[in-house]
Protein backbone atom coordinates (compact mmCIF):
# COMPACT_ATOMS: atom_id res chain seq x y z
CA UNK A 1 0.00 0.00 0.00
CA UNK A 2 1.38 3.43 -0.96
CA UNK A 3 2.00 5.98 1.79
CA UNK A 4 -0.41 8.39 0.07
CA UNK A 5 -3.67 8.61 2.06
CA UNK A 6 -2.12 6.51 4.81
CA UNK A 7 -4.17 6.08 7.99
CA UNK A 8 -1.32 4.38 9.86
CA UNK A 9 -1.66 4.73 13.67
CA UNK A 10 -5.11 6.32 13.36
CA UNK A 11 -8.14 5.13 15.29
CA UNK A 12 -11.46 5.19 13.45
CA UNK A 13 -15.07 4.61 14.42
CA UNK A 14 -17.52 3.72 11.64
CA UNK A 15 -21.19 3.74 12.60
CA UNK A 16 -23.19 1.09 10.73
CA UNK A 17 -19.95 -0.64 9.75
CA UNK A 18 -21.58 -4.06 9.55
CA UNK A 19 -22.96 -3.82 6.01
CA UNK A 20 -22.94 -1.86 2.75
CA UNK A 21 -21.03 1.43 2.55
CA UNK A 22 -19.98 1.35 6.22
CA UNK A 23 -18.47 -2.10 5.77
CA UNK A 24 -16.50 -0.89 2.74
CA UNK A 25 -15.26 2.13 4.71
CA UNK A 26 -14.15 -0.05 7.65
CA UNK A 27 -12.22 -2.36 5.26
CA UNK A 28 -10.66 0.55 3.34
CA UNK A 29 -9.55 2.35 6.53
CA UNK A 30 -8.08 -0.85 7.98
CA UNK A 31 -6.22 -1.56 4.73
CA UNK A 32 -4.70 1.92 5.08
CA UNK A 33 -3.48 1.13 8.60
CA UNK A 34 -6.24 2.40 10.92
CA UNK A 35 -7.59 0.47 13.90
CA UNK A 36 -11.34 0.37 13.33
CA UNK A 37 -14.38 0.07 15.59
CA UNK A 38 -17.17 -1.50 13.56
CA UNK A 39 -20.46 -0.35 15.06
CA UNK A 40 -23.64 -2.27 14.34
CA UNK A 41 -27.21 -2.26 15.58
CA UNK A 42 -29.05 -5.41 14.45
CA UNK A 43 -26.43 -7.41 12.51
CA UNK A 44 -23.88 -8.86 14.98
CA UNK A 45 -22.76 -11.65 12.64
CA UNK A 46 -22.12 -9.30 9.73
CA UNK A 47 -20.12 -6.98 12.02
CA UNK A 48 -18.04 -9.88 13.39
CA UNK A 49 -17.30 -10.96 9.80
CA UNK A 50 -15.93 -7.48 8.99
CA UNK A 51 -13.76 -7.62 12.12
CA UNK A 52 -12.51 -11.10 11.21
CA UNK A 53 -11.70 -10.00 7.66
CA UNK A 54 -9.65 -7.05 8.98
CA UNK A 55 -7.85 -9.17 11.57
CA UNK A 56 -7.08 -11.94 9.06
CA UNK A 57 -5.42 -9.31 6.86
CA UNK A 58 -3.26 -8.28 9.86
CA UNK A 59 -5.28 -5.22 10.89
CA UNK A 60 -6.89 -4.12 14.17
CA UNK A 61 -10.66 -4.03 14.62
CA UNK A 62 -13.41 -4.57 17.17
CA UNK A 63 -17.21 -4.67 16.88
CA UNK A 64 -19.59 -2.85 19.21
CA UNK A 65 -23.39 -2.89 19.33
CA UNK A 66 -25.07 0.48 19.77
CA UNK A 67 -28.23 2.07 18.40
CA UNK A 68 -26.68 5.42 17.53
CA UNK A 69 -30.07 7.16 17.48
CA UNK A 70 -29.90 6.92 21.29
CA UNK A 71 -27.52 9.42 22.92
CA UNK A 72 -26.48 7.18 25.83
CA UNK A 73 -25.66 4.31 23.45
CA UNK A 74 -23.66 6.66 21.18
CA UNK A 75 -21.72 7.84 24.23
CA UNK A 76 -21.02 4.22 25.21
CA UNK A 77 -19.80 3.53 21.65
CA UNK A 78 -17.30 6.41 21.77
CA UNK A 79 -16.17 5.32 25.26
CA UNK A 80 -15.67 1.77 23.95
CA UNK A 81 -13.45 3.13 21.15
CA UNK A 82 -11.35 5.16 23.59
CA UNK A 83 -10.98 2.17 25.94
CA UNK A 84 -10.30 -0.41 23.21
CA UNK A 85 -7.74 1.49 21.17
CA UNK A 86 -6.73 4.47 23.32
CA UNK A 87 -8.15 7.30 21.21
CA UNK A 88 -10.46 8.43 18.42
CA UNK A 89 -9.06 10.25 15.38
CA UNK A 90 -11.76 9.65 12.76
CA UNK A 91 -15.53 9.41 13.19
CA UNK A 92 -17.59 8.30 10.20
CA UNK A 93 -21.31 8.91 10.71
CA UNK A 94 -22.58 6.35 8.22
CA UNK A 95 -25.50 4.54 9.93
CA UNK A 96 -28.76 5.18 8.15
CA UNK A 97 -32.18 3.82 7.23
CA UNK A 98 -35.01 4.56 4.82
CA UNK A 99 -38.80 4.38 5.41
CA UNK A 100 -40.07 5.65 2.04
CA UNK A 101 -43.67 6.79 1.64
CA UNK A 102 -45.62 9.68 0.14
CA UNK A 103 -46.23 12.30 2.84
CA UNK A 104 -50.02 11.74 2.76
CA UNK A 105 -49.43 8.12 3.79
CA UNK A 106 -46.29 8.47 5.92
CA UNK A 107 -46.84 7.45 9.55
CA UNK A 108 -45.43 9.90 12.07
CA UNK A 109 -43.38 7.01 13.47
CA UNK A 110 -41.56 6.64 10.13
CA UNK A 111 -40.69 10.32 10.10
CA UNK A 112 -39.29 10.05 13.64
CA UNK A 113 -37.41 6.80 12.97
CA UNK A 114 -35.57 8.20 9.94
CA UNK A 115 -34.75 11.57 11.52
CA UNK A 116 -33.48 9.83 14.66
CA UNK A 117 -31.41 7.15 12.91
CA UNK A 118 -29.93 9.45 10.25
CA UNK A 119 -29.71 12.91 11.83
CA UNK A 120 -29.97 12.70 15.62
CA UNK A 121 -27.35 9.92 15.45
CA UNK A 122 -24.93 12.38 13.83
CA UNK A 123 -25.47 14.85 16.70
CA UNK A 124 -25.13 12.04 19.26
CA UNK A 125 -21.87 10.55 17.96
CA UNK A 126 -20.30 13.88 17.01
CA UNK A 127 -21.03 15.41 20.44
CA UNK A 128 -19.44 12.45 22.20
CA UNK A 129 -16.43 12.36 19.83
CA UNK A 130 -15.78 16.11 19.70
CA UNK A 131 -15.26 16.20 23.47
CA UNK A 132 -12.21 13.98 22.98
CA UNK A 133 -11.05 15.58 19.70
CA UNK A 134 -11.15 19.12 21.19
CA UNK A 135 -8.74 18.05 23.94
CA UNK A 136 -6.46 16.42 21.38
CA UNK A 137 -6.72 19.42 19.04
CA UNK A 138 -7.13 17.09 16.07
CA UNK A 139 -9.85 15.04 14.45
CA UNK A 140 -11.84 14.14 11.39
CA UNK A 141 -15.62 13.80 11.18
CA UNK A 142 -17.11 12.45 7.95
CA UNK A 143 -20.86 12.35 7.45
CA UNK A 144 -22.39 10.06 4.84
CA UNK A 145 -25.25 12.18 3.49
CA UNK A 146 -26.99 11.64 0.12
CA UNK A 147 -27.96 13.33 -3.14
CA UNK A 148 -31.48 13.16 -1.66
CA UNK A 149 -30.38 15.85 0.81
CA UNK A 150 -29.30 18.09 -2.06
CA UNK A 151 -31.97 17.49 -4.72
CA UNK A 152 -34.92 15.99 -2.77
CA UNK A 153 -36.64 12.78 -3.75
CA UNK A 154 -40.41 12.12 -3.99
CA UNK A 155 -41.47 9.57 -1.38
CA UNK A 156 -38.49 10.50 0.77
CA UNK A 157 -39.43 13.68 2.67
CA UNK A 158 -38.14 12.08 5.88
CA UNK A 159 -34.91 10.75 4.35
CA UNK A 160 -34.21 13.90 2.29
CA UNK A 161 -34.78 16.12 5.34
CA UNK A 162 -32.43 13.96 7.43
CA UNK A 163 -29.72 14.13 4.75
CA UNK A 164 -30.19 17.87 4.12
CA UNK A 165 -29.94 18.27 7.89
CA UNK A 166 -26.67 16.32 7.91
CA UNK A 167 -25.25 18.69 5.29
CA UNK A 168 -26.22 21.80 7.28
CA UNK A 169 -24.89 20.16 10.45
CA UNK A 170 -21.59 19.45 8.67
CA UNK A 171 -21.13 23.11 7.76
CA UNK A 172 -22.12 24.45 11.20
CA UNK A 173 -19.89 22.03 13.10
CA UNK A 174 -17.00 22.61 10.67
CA UNK A 175 -17.07 26.33 11.59
CA UNK A 176 -17.44 25.55 15.29
CA UNK A 177 -14.43 23.22 15.66
CA UNK A 178 -12.03 24.45 12.96
CA UNK A 179 -9.92 26.38 15.47
CA UNK A 180 -9.16 23.06 17.18
CA UNK A 181 -7.89 21.50 13.96
CA UNK A 182 -10.93 19.25 13.55
CA UNK A 183 -12.35 18.96 10.04
CA UNK A 184 -15.95 18.04 9.29
CA UNK A 185 -16.98 17.03 5.78
CA UNK A 186 -19.81 15.17 4.09
CA UNK A 187 -20.06 12.75 1.21
CA UNK A 188 -23.25 12.71 -0.85
CA UNK A 189 -23.51 9.33 -2.58
CA UNK A 190 -25.96 8.73 -5.41
CA UNK A 191 -27.31 5.21 -5.99
CA UNK A 192 -24.87 2.75 -4.45
CA UNK A 193 -25.19 -1.00 -4.74
CA UNK A 194 -26.18 -2.01 -1.16
CA UNK A 195 -29.18 -3.57 0.57
CA UNK A 196 -30.73 -0.12 1.18
CA UNK A 197 -31.67 -0.03 -2.53
CA UNK A 198 -33.69 -3.26 -2.10
CA UNK A 199 -36.47 -1.16 -0.56
CA UNK A 200 -36.85 0.64 -3.91
CA UNK A 201 -39.21 -0.84 -6.54
CA UNK A 202 -37.00 -2.10 -9.46
CA UNK A 203 -38.83 0.08 -12.00
CA UNK A 204 -38.25 3.21 -9.85
CA UNK A 205 -34.56 2.34 -9.59
CA UNK A 206 -34.31 1.74 -13.33
CA UNK A 207 -35.93 5.13 -14.04
CA UNK A 208 -33.68 6.81 -11.47
CA UNK A 209 -30.52 5.35 -13.01
CA UNK A 210 -31.43 7.13 -16.26
CA UNK A 211 -30.68 10.38 -14.36
CA UNK A 212 -27.08 9.28 -13.70
CA UNK A 213 -24.74 10.68 -16.35
CA UNK A 214 -22.25 7.84 -15.76
CA UNK A 215 -25.15 5.43 -16.32
CA UNK A 216 -24.62 2.96 -13.47
CA UNK A 217 -24.89 2.42 -9.73
CA UNK A 218 -21.87 3.26 -7.58
CA UNK A 219 -19.88 0.62 -5.69
CA UNK A 220 -19.51 0.88 -1.88
CA UNK A 221 -15.71 0.93 -2.39
CA UNK A 222 -16.05 4.15 -4.41
CA UNK A 223 -17.63 5.89 -1.41
CA UNK A 224 -15.03 4.34 0.92
CA UNK A 225 -12.17 5.82 -1.09
CA UNK A 226 -13.68 9.32 -0.80
CA UNK A 227 -13.99 8.79 2.97
CA UNK A 228 -10.32 7.72 3.15
CA UNK A 229 -9.41 10.94 1.38
CA UNK A 230 -11.30 13.13 3.89
CA UNK A 231 -9.76 11.11 6.74
CA UNK A 232 -6.20 11.53 5.47
CA UNK A 233 -3.52 14.10 6.31
CA UNK A 234 -3.65 15.16 2.65
CA UNK A 235 -7.16 16.59 3.24
CA UNK A 236 -6.08 18.68 6.26
CA UNK A 237 -7.09 21.99 4.61
CA UNK A 238 -10.57 20.85 3.55
CA UNK A 239 -13.53 21.41 5.87
CA UNK A 240 -17.27 22.04 5.63
CA UNK A 241 -17.42 20.50 2.16
CA UNK A 242 -19.87 18.12 0.51
CA UNK A 243 -18.34 15.76 -2.02
CA UNK A 244 -20.80 14.19 -4.46
CA UNK A 245 -19.89 10.60 -5.33
CA UNK A 246 -22.91 10.08 -7.50
CA UNK A 247 -21.96 9.41 -11.12
CA UNK A 248 -22.65 13.08 -11.88
CA UNK A 249 -26.26 13.00 -10.68
CA UNK A 250 -26.37 16.21 -8.61
CA UNK A 251 -23.60 18.53 -9.98
CA UNK A 252 -24.30 21.20 -7.31
Assess whether 159 carries a catalytic annotation: yes
Cα separations in angstroms, 163 against 147, 186, 245 = 8, 10, 15
Shortest Å, Cβ 58 to ligand NAP: 24
Residue closer to ligand NAP (CB basis): 115 or 138: 115
| Footprint of ligand NAP on 4-63 (CB under 6 A) | 15-16, 18-22, 39-43
- Active-site pick, 85, 111, 159, 191: 159
Cβ of residue 50: shortest distance to ligand NAP, in angstroms?
9
Q: Which of 135, 144, 44 is nearest to 92 (CA)?
A: 144
235 sits near ligand NAP (criterion: CB under 6 A): no
CB of 3 to ligand NAP, least distance (A): 29
C-beta separation of 120 from 168 below 8 A: no
Rounded least distance, CB 189 to ligand NAP, Å? 4
Q: How many residues make contact with ligand NAP (CB under 6 A)?
A: 30
- DSSP string covering 211-234: T-TT-SPBPHHHHHHHHHHHHSGG
Q: What is the DSSP code string of the chain?
A: --STT--TT-EEEETT-SSHHHHHHHHHHHHTT-EEEEEESS-HHHHHHHHHHHHHTT--EEEEE--TTSHHHHHHHHHHHHHHHS---EEEE---------GGG--HHHHHHHHIIIIIHHHHHHHHHHHHHHHHT-EEEEEE--THHHH--TT-HHHHHHHHHHHHHHHHHHHHHGGGTEEEEEEEE-SBSSGGGGGS-HHHHHHHHTT-TT-SPBPHHHHHHHHHHHHSGGGTT--S-EEEESTTS---
* Between 19 and 32, CB nearer to ligand NAP: 19
Task: List the interface residues with ligand NAP, window 103-142 (CB under 6 A).
Answer: 117-118
Which residues, 67 to 106, sit near ligand NAP by CB under 6 A?
Answer: 67-69, 94-97
Q: At closest approach, how far in Å is the CB of 71 from ligand NAP? A: 12
Give 76 or 134: the residue with its C-beta nearer to ligand NAP.
Answer: 76
Q: Which of residues 159-198 bind ligand NAP (CB under 6 A)?
A: 189, 191-192, 194-197
Span of 66-74, 84-92, 125-133, 232-240 interacting with ligand NAP by CB under 6 A = 66-74
Q: At its nearest, how many Å lie between ligand NAP and the CB of residue 133?
A: 20
Report the site for ligand NAP in 143-162 (rule: CB under 6 A). Answer: 144, 146
Whichever of 39 and 232 has its CB closer to ligand NAP, that residue is 39
Interaction site with ligand NAP (CB under 6 A): 15-16, 18-22, 39-43, 67-69, 94-97, 117-118, 144, 146, 189, 191-192, 194-197
Q: Which positions are catalytic?
A: 159
Amino acid sequence: MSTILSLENKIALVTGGSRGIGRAIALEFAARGAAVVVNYNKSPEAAEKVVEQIQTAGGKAAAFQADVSDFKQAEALVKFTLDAFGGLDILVNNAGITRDQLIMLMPEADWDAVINANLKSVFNCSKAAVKHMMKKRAGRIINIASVAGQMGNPGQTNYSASKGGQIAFTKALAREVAARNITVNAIAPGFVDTEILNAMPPETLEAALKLVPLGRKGRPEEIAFAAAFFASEEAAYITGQVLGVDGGMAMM
